[in-house]
Amino acid sequence: MTIDLREDPITLTAALVDIPSVSLDEAAIADVVERALREQTSGFEVLRHGNVVLARTDRGLPTRVILAGHLDTVPIADNVPSRFDKDDAGAQVLYGCGTVDMKSGDAVFLHLAATVADPVCDLTLIFYDGEEIAAEYNGLGRVEQELPEWLEGDLAVLGEPSGGWIEAGCQGTVRVRLSTAGTRAHSARAWLGDNAIHRLAPILGRLSEYRARQVDIDGCVYREGLSAVRVSGGVAGNVVPDAAEVDVNFRFAPDRTVAQAIEHVREVFAGLDLSFEVTDSAPGALPGLTAPAAADLITSVTSHGGGGVRAKYGWTDVSRFAARGIPAVNFGPGDPNLAHKRDEHVPTAQITAVTAMLRNYLTGQI
């Protein structure tokens, strides 16, 4: 299969959706993207690294902008191939797995690589695999470890769905397992035991009473959240359990480090009789909107009809760039609330608008 990068990015989005690329099965779409970049763009060095496709120019321009997007999707749910339809207002929408997360963003980047003849900055494009699953499979993570020079730049733009808004930075995340211990007994003689599930009550009480911070950073308000996300316990229907546990997820503003976030969670549950185990963590990303390249993007987008700037809720790969001191934002078509849904769809007008706003930025029409 081939794709035409000079076609309307709406058509290009549909073509990408029609290439199934569930996580760990991205070879076919990586082949198509690599071939298109080699054959249909000029001035780019193109490199294949596993199922990651990288391309960059080296024109000696004063700044370098990285455009990065993942090629994989969640499992298909009877939503490939793509199809066009109308929404309730009569506007055209494109349905299909990955239309929002994030083949429309990939299509915008690919189209611009082939059609922007005189950018004011050097460009690096990274199309990577394994974003939708465990971090060990993330292609951008492998690039970070094995080809770190490809991540150097003045601004990174990830094509994550943001509805045409610039969503800056991202929250960090910590997951903690809180476990309680008791004494097993027959439930008919419960007084002989110590119910570990009942010992979860103080934990749940503190969670229900918790009041999360709202933090303004560079004009972006990040809302923290501390939530129980899993509860486990019980042996049998006639047994007082001697063990129980609750998994707690803390989504924290990027002004905290991971260590500070873990310490905060410890403080919330201080004094309770429990064991505390950190099971997962990832740092947040500061918005970095005062950096010149980021400020120029904001000016260009907001002056050409974009939705403005807001905080990114949730974690994205912008964190990898922020950890290297590179400002990074999420900017792409599609409503993130529709990502991964069976009826995932994107307004085609949004694809057109994001393409135009990024074209203006890359060509200096600020």
Of 254, 250, 255, the C-alpha closest to 210 is 250
Token pair listed for 285: 């990303």
Non-local (6+) Cβ contacts of 179 within 8 A are: 243, 244, 245, 274, 275, 277
CA separation for the pair 268, 264 (Å, rounded): 6
Query: CA–CA separation, 258 vs 4, rounded Å?
Result: 43
Distance from C-alpha of 287 to C-alpha of 244, rounded to nearest angstrom: 39
Asked if 23 contacts 73 with a C-beta cutoff of 8 angstroms, the reply is yes
| Distance in angstroms between the alpha carbons of the first and the last residue of the chain | 37
Facing residues of 220 across strands?
217
| Structure tokens, 215 | 């933090």
Are 131 and 138 spatial neighbours (Cβ–Cβ below 8 Å)?
A: yes
Question: Quick one: which of 366, 359, 362, 328 has its CA closest to 162?
Answer: 328
Neighbours of 291 (CB within 10 A): 16
Active site residue 72: yes
Q: Which of 153, 128, 148 is nearest to 27 (CA)?
A: 128
In the residue annotation, 149 being an active-site residue is answered as no
Could you give the angle at the alpha carbon of 208 between the alpha carbons of 221 and 316, nearest 5°?
A: 40
Query: Rg of the chain's alpha carbons, rounded to an integer?
Result: 23
Q: Does residue 164 contact residue 215 with C-beta atoms inside 8 Å? A: no
Give the pair of three-digit tokens for residue 275: 């064991």
Q: Which residue has the tokens 């690919």?
A: 110
Do 118 and 128 meet the contact criterion of CB atoms below 8 Å apart? Answer: no
Calpha distance 74→72 (Å, rounded): 7
Active-site option among 72, 101, 122, 245: 72
Q: Of 26, 34, 122, 131, which residue is the catalytic one?
A: 131
Residues with catalytic function: 72, 131
